[in-house]
């Protein structure tokens, strides 16, 4: 199924959450983050979405571009950042880190997805930047 390329951030998030749910119910928790990232990338591109993996995001400081920022796990349709974790417990810094990523990219929505949980709905956090 190909999705409309003009989906809103919330529409894209819905597709991402559905895909994460499918992956988690099929594979379960306990795998490496890189495995979930690869499979989620595959699932989203299969649905016709533009997905960038491990894209380097620079930091602009005093008007100077510094390529020392971060690498996003996934950016979908240039609208939603996905940060993938496979940890026992999310640290308080994880949502704050994603919010910083959103501010650096001027994007409005991020999804922090921790696959290492019994129920995936408990592992998904929406982080918004002025949405």
Average pLDDT of each block of 10 consecutive residues along the chain (131 residues)? 74 97 97 97 97 91 84 95 96 94 94 97 95 72
pLDDT given for residue 3 in this prediction: 59
Model confidence, pTM: 0.91
For residue 85, what pLDDT is reported? 97
Q: Kindly state the DSSP code that residue 70 receives in the 8-state scheme.
A: E
| CA atoms of 18 and 15, how far apart (whole Å) | 5
Other Cβ atoms within 10 Å of 127 Cβ, number: 21
Closest CA to 52 of 35, 37, 32, 69: 37
């Amino acid at each position: 199924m190909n999705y409309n390329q003009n989906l809103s951030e919330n529409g894209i998030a819905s597709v991402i959450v559905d895909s994460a749910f499918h992956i988690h119910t099929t594979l379960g928790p306990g795998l490496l983050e890189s495995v979930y990232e690869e499979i989620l990338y595959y699932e989203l591109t299969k649905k016709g979405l533009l997905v960038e993996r491990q894209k380097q995001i620079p930091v602009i400081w005093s008007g100077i571009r510094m390529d020392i920022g971060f690498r996003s796990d996934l950016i979908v349709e240039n609208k939603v950042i996905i940060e993938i974790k496979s940890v026992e417990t999310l640290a308080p810094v994880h949502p704050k880190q994603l919010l910083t990523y959103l501010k650096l990219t001027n994007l409005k929505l991020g999804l922090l997805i921790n696959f290492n949980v019994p129920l995936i709905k408990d592992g998904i956090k929406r982080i918004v930047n002025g949405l």
